[in-house]
């Protein structure tokens, strides 16, 4: 029997409907699953009411970011101004003024800023989070996940079991071993910002990258109180105490200093309607560690997100003018000041960790930031190396080299193959000249603990971590370094 045309039409319609339904189902679950070769196993992230609420919030907030954004051409970035000037409150230098803009740009930026502040003050929506919670948040992904893993292991060495959320930008950065197995065993988990952003189809066109993800991770973490840490930064003491003491309890925002003088353009303060302070009142901000209360700083977080969303073209050059570390670092301070939610800025100067070469020059490899509780209550020590009283070191920010066991023993640095060697090619400590100096500074030998953890991570997970694919002798190299420097 020859099928009728009507029957064939009905068959094709049904087939098309079934295919459309399957496509919709796959699209819905694309954000929830990640395909890993070659085993073709799926990791499933459970849906939650919080993720739904975050998606709805982002739809509305992203629309406001776009609607109230600057409608003027991007600023011309100041170049070569040599603003790496070490902060000294006794040096009453003038504010640098290198940024140029037309009257049209100035007026457009000022109107955009004023309108956006008025919009968020209308409080037409609330930032979603789990009330009464606190935890640590970081951003990582791809080659930075092993660095974050070492930092989380160092966090656990302090005895703190605060939950940790590691934010990736997209699912392609997911490591099935680190995210699926290791981090859950450490009361930590990977979250993917794409899950939130995909609620708004236009977000993919926004081109968020690098520094712009930090504020998004803070916004979309589940915690009410957040200690944000760069993936290469970790506390050396029990971080729980920071949430329970002044200055955080009253301010809801604690920031730490960078090495340099601040370098905001005078035009930024005009645009933001902020009274410009003298540049010698405080150092610029080093945003490797930020302590936030979303309840107390909700509006300032939204303004900080506005600054970062339009950062590369407008607010990064206007708040830094090309100074070292230009990015989002000072946007957290000024968003809070603009909205009268005054932060606490740690006064104790950041200290560089490193060693002296044979020629007497200093080779820096990390930064130490100090206890904000003791900073709030006690004196500021002008020369910490010669006065080991209050405040005590609290964070180590290991910016160079990054503590990735799969990379650190290979890359060129310090003038010799491998950043764990000095310029003469000798394997050595990289934070201090001796064990005695390390103990004097921290109160214990922190570097010994760090390299033990690096060795443990190298030997436990060699051959399993995605970014180490093709790497050989990861455990062997870490063990050889440990034996050579710390005596086995």
Which residues of the chain carry a pLDDT beneath 50?
A: 1-3, 5-13, 16, 18-45, 205, 413-417
Query: CA separation (Å) from 263 to 210, 223, 279, 314, 351?
Result: 21, 32, 8, 15, 20
Confidence (pTM)? 0.88
Q: Is 27 helix (H, G, I), strand (E, B) or coil?
A: helix
The sign of the CA dihedral 151, 392, 446, 325 is positive
pLDDT by residue (tens digit) across 338-388? 999 999 999 999 999 988 888 888 888 899 999 999 999 987 665 555 555
DSSP per-residue string spanning 393-453:
EEEEE--SS---TTTTTTSEETTEESTTB-TTS-B--SS-SSHHHHHHHHSS-HHHHHHHH
Taking the C-alpha atoms of residue 353 and residue 60, their distance in angstroms, rounded to an integer, is 44
Question: For residue 139, which of 200, 186, 208, 198 has the smallest C-alpha distance?
Answer: 208
Say what the pLDDT of residue 428 is: 85
Say what the pLDDT of residue 46 is: 53
- Over pLDDT 90: what percentage of the chain? 72
Question: For residue 177, which of 472, 477, 487, 461 has the smallest C-alpha distance?
Answer: 461
Taking the C-alpha atoms of residue 93 and residue 488, their distance in angstroms, rounded to an integer, is 51
Q: 206-220: string of b/e by CB count within 10 Å (b at 16+)?
A: eebeebbbbbbbbbb
pLDDT by residue (tens digit) across 273-305? 999 999 999 999 999 999 999 999 999 999 999
Taking the C-alpha atoms of residue 73 and residue 5, their distance in angstroms, rounded to an integer, is 59
Say what the pLDDT of residue 8 is: 42
Whether 152 contacts 179, CB under 8 Å: no
Q: Where are the domains of the chain?
A: 51-345, 351-486
Say what the pLDDT of residue 43 is: 37
- CATH number assigned to the domain with residue range 51-345, chosen from the 4 options 3.30.1490, 3.40.50, 3.90.350, 3.90.550: 3.90.550
Say what the pLDDT of residue 6 is: 46
Q: How many CA atoms lie within 13 A of 389 on its CB side?
A: 8
């Amino acid at each position: 029997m020859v099928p009728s045309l009507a029957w064939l039409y009905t068959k094709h319609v049904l087939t098309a409907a079934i295919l459309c339904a399957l496509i919709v189902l796959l699209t819905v679950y694309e954000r929830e699953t990640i395909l890993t070769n070659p085993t073709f196993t799926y990791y499933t992230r459970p849906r939650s009411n919080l993720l739904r609420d975050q998606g709805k919030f982002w739809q509305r907030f992203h629309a406001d970011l776009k609607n109230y954004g600057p409608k003027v051409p991007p600023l011309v970035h100041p170049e070569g101004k040599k603003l790496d000037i070490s902060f000294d409150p006794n040096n009453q230098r003038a504010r640098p003024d290198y940024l140029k803009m037309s009257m049209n740009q100035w007026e457009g930026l000022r109107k955009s800023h004023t309108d956006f502040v008025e919009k968020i003050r209308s409080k037409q929506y609330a930032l979603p989070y789990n009330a009464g919670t606190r935890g640590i948040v970081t951003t990582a992904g791809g080659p930075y996940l092993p660095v974050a893993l070492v930092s989380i292991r160092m966090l656990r060495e302090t005895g703190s079991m605060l939950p940790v959320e590691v934010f990736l930008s997209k699912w392609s950065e997911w490591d099935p071993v680190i995210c699926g197995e290791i981090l859950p065993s450490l009361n930590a988990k990977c979250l993917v910002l794409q899950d939130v952003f995909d609620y708004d189809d236009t977000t993919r066109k926004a081109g968020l990258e690098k520094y712009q993800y930090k504020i998004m991770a803070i916004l979309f973490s589940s915690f009410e109180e957040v200690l944000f840490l760069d993936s290469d930064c970790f506390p050396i003491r029990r971080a729980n105490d920071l949430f329970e003491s002044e200055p955080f309890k009253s301010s809801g925002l604690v920031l730490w200093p960078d090495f340099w003088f601040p370098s905001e353009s005078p035009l930024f303060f005009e645009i933001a309607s902020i009274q410009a302070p003298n540049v010698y009142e405080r150092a610029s901000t080093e945003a490797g560690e930020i302590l936030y209360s979303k309840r107390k700083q909700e509006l300032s977080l939204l303004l900080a997100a506005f600054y970062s969303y339009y950062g590369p073209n407008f607010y990064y050059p206007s708040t830094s003018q090309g100074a070292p570390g230009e990015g989002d670092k000072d946007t957290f301070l000024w968003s809070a000041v603009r909205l009268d939610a005054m932060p606490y800025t740690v006064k104790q100067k950041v200290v560089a960790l490193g060693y002296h070469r044979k020629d007497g020059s200093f080779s820096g490899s990390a930064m130490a930031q100090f206890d904000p509780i003791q900073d709030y209550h006690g004196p500021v020590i002008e020369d910490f190396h010669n006065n080991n009283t209050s405040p005590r070191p609290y964070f180590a920010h290991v910016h160079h080299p990054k503590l990735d066991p799969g990379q650190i023993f290979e890359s060129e640095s310090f003038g010799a193959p491998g950043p764990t060697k000095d310029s003469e090619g000798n394997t050595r400590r990289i934070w201090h000249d001796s064990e005695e100096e390390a103990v004097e500074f921290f109160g214990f030998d922190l570097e010994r603990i760090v390299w033990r953890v690096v060795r443990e991570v190298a030997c436990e997970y060699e051959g399993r971590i995605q970014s180490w694919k093709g790497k050989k002798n990861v455990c062997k190299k870490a063990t050889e370094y440990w034996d050579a420097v710390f005596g086995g």
